[in-house]
Structures are given as C-alpha cells and as structure tokens.
C-alpha cells in the first residue's frame, strides 16, 4: 500500500517526508520543484503492542537462546510513503510538469495533502495564498485531470471489449454521474455510486476517488501554544519543521519533548496511523522466540488469507488458527498460561481476523 504526499510547492512536503523516514532522504529546498522524481520510503507503523509482546516472550522463553537474544527480532507493520513534486495551478494543463506529477499520484492508494498554514517570509510561497485557497487549487487540478480521463473514456466506451455488453449502459450512467459532479467542483468520492458501479469505473483510477488525509503544516509556536484549527476527522495539524527535529532525537527524548508540548502522539504518528486506517488496514500479531511481528491485512480478511501473508504454503495447507486477543494474552501473562486456562480459541477457514489477534497457524503441505 502506498500513500502519496502532495501539495503546492514549498508547503513542507519533503520536510514531512524526511521526518517520516527519520533521515534526510528528500531534498528539502526553498524553491519550486525541488523534487522531480518521487522519493519513496517505507515507514514503521507505531504499535506499542509489539514491545509489550516482546517482553512477554522474553519472560516466557527466557532472555537468551544460546548466544541469541529472545525474541531475535521485532518487526512492525509498514506503510510506503511517496514524496510527489509540488503541483501548481494549471497542472492539469501541463503547468510545472503537471502531467508527469499527476501520473505519480495515480499510482498511490491514498493521498496526504499538505496544506501550508504558517507564515515565514524566508520560505517562498510559490502559489500558496491561504489554507482554504491552497486546498481548493489542488482539488481543482485533480478534478480537471479526472474530467479529462472521463471525457476520453466516454468517447471510447462502446469500443471497450473488456466491458461486457450488458454492463455498457451501467458504466455509461456511472460515468455521467461522475462527470456531472466533477463539473460542479465536487470530488468523485462524494458521488453516491453503488458497489457495482464502483467496480465498473475502478479501472479509471480517478484521483479524486482516492482517500485523503489533510495535513495542516503550522508554525512551531502554534503547536507549542496548543492552538487548534477546525479540521475534519481525516485531518491532522502538525509542524513539519518540528517533526523533522523530533525525528533526530532518541525515543526517550522524543517522549520528553512531546510531554513538554502537552502532546501524547507526534503529528507523524497520527498521520501514519490515520493513513493505515484510511486504507482499510489492520494488524494481526505473531509472537515467538524467533520474532515478534505485526502483519498487515485488509479489514475483513479470513484466517487462511491472513496465513498466506506469512507464507503461501500456510494458506494452501491451512488447517486452523489458534487465536487469542492481544489484551487477553497480556492479561494472562503468556501463550502457555493462556492455553492452560483454555483461552486460546481454535478458528477455521471462515474466521474473520480482528485487529490485535495474536495467532499461531496450523497447516499441512
């Protein structure tokens, strides 16, 4: 799963990306189009359950296995972030290498839209005016790009052999609904399409269908003062510059700094967790002396398919899953104790995995 970071030039995208990766990978520069080719980085999903599980395993199996520590590895779930170059007004018509940048956005599953909400005379605005205007400029360019796709597809619909004849009329109606909404300045995601219609237009890969997190990049003083802005559920307020500085501190130093600011989570952690949730993802856990690990699956995944994320043989030869919730496992003090108390459930092929399930799969190949 990939999340693309977009916005006008000089709004703090690359600074945010650098902080996400906890190292200076992207070129953060005070001029437009400092990023041309997208930078890509894989980021750990914050999950305090892993550390607690690792401690549990250490106690249950002993601190060491010969020369090796127990557990040998702790592996978190990850999300891939893509730093995409700044869009400008007219991008849908090719301004500022717009077509190239828009094509990069089509390849991601969700979007982080960084919006400038700070004043700094040393950072060129490059088309940025105010948060609402900046938001509208980007949305307008994405809408215009989607309209171009719809116009092209509508003209060739009857010639598309991939669409069965019985579905041609349904797809045409769906395209018309989308076209009407986009021409009104509405996003494709706001159109009430049925599941069947969504499937028929899925191949269009419309930009405004993608889930969006709005990140308001504020000043350090706004964060320090605890200033709040009116934002929706899928919005986060952070200071990219501060997050970049935080990323260079040790874990303990970060916690102390956040405490001083009166914050429980860094803005970055909020973005990562929100992105994970926005993509409809959840985590199941495995815990043993070799490794404690978080595995990423889509919500609604059945046990055999979850097993397949570990190894295809696990899915092919799936017999059953031994499952306990993370909370119950921690409360009882370990896998052996949970088994002795009869708390481990045996689940079959129809079991739908839950976030935080701790699992051992039984299989035969």
Per the annotation, where are the binding residues for ATP? 10-15
- β-partners of residue 292 are 74, 287
Cα(29)–Cα(7) distance, integer angstroms: 15
Asked whether 80 and 40 are in contact (CB, 8 A), the reply is yes
Q: Residues marked as binding?
A: 10-15
Residue 216's closest CA among 198, 185, 239?
239
Task: With H, G, I as helix, E, B as strand and everything else as coil, classify residue 182.
Answer: helix
Tokens read off for 110: 């969700």
Q: How far apart are the first and last CA of the chain?
A: 29
Number of neighbours of residue 313 by Cβ within 10 angstroms: 13
φ, ψ for residue 74 (rounded to 5)?
Answer: -125, 120
Q: Which residue is associated with the tokens 């052999």? A: 161
Q: Which of 309, 322, 287 is nearest to 49 (CA)?
A: 287
> Rg of the chain over CA atoms, in angstroms?
24
**C-alpha distances in angstroms, 78 versus 21, 268, 277, 296, 306?**
12, 14, 12, 8, 16
Q: What is the DSSP letter of 120?
A: -
């Amino acid at each position: 799963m990939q999340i693309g970071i977009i916005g006008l030039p000089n709004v703090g995208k690359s600074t945010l990306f650098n902080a996400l990766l906890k190292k200076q990978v992207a070129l953060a520069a005070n001029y437009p189009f400092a990023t041309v080719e997208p930078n890509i980085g894989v980021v750990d999903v914050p999950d305090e359950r892993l550390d607690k599980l690792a401690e549990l395993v250490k106690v249950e199996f002993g601190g060491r296995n010969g020369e090796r520590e127990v557990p040998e590895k702790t592996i978190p779930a990850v999300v891939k972030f893509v730093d995409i170059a700044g869009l400008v007004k007219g991008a849908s018509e090719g301004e500022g290498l717009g077509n190239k940048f828009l094509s990069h956005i089509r390849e991601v599953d969700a979007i982080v839209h960084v919006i400038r909400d700070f004043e700094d005379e040393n950072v060129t605005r490059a088309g940025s005016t105010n948060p609402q205007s900046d938001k509208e400029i980007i949305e307008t360019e994405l809408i215009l790009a989607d309209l171009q796709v719809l116009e092209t597809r509508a003209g060739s619909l009857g010639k598309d052999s991939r669409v069965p004849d019985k579905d041609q009329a349904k797809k045409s109606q769906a395209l018309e609904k989308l076209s009407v909404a986009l021409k009104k300045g509405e996003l494709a995601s706001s159109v009430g399409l049925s599941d069947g219609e969504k499937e028929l237009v899925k191949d269009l890969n419309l930009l405004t269908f993608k889930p969006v997190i709005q990140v308001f990049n504020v000043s350090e003083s706004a964060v320090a003062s605890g200033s709040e802005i009116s934002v929706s559920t899928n919005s986060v307020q952070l200071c990219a510059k501060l997050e970049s500085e935080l990323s260079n501190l040790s874990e303990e130093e970060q916690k102390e700094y956040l405490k001083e600011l009166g914050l429980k989570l860094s803005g970055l952690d909020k973005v990562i967790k929100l992105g994970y949730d926005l993509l409809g993802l959840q985590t199941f856990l495995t815990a043993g002396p070799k490794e404690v690990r978080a595995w990423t699956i889509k919500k609604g995944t059945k046990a055999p398919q979850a097993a397949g994320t570990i190894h295809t043989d696990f899915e092919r030869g799936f017999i059953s899953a031994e499952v306990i919730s993370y909370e119950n496992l921690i409360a009882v003090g370990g896998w052996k104790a949970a088994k002795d108390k009869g708390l481990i459930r045996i689940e079959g092929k129809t079991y739908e995995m839950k976030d935080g399930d701790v699992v051992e799969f039984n299989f035969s190949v």
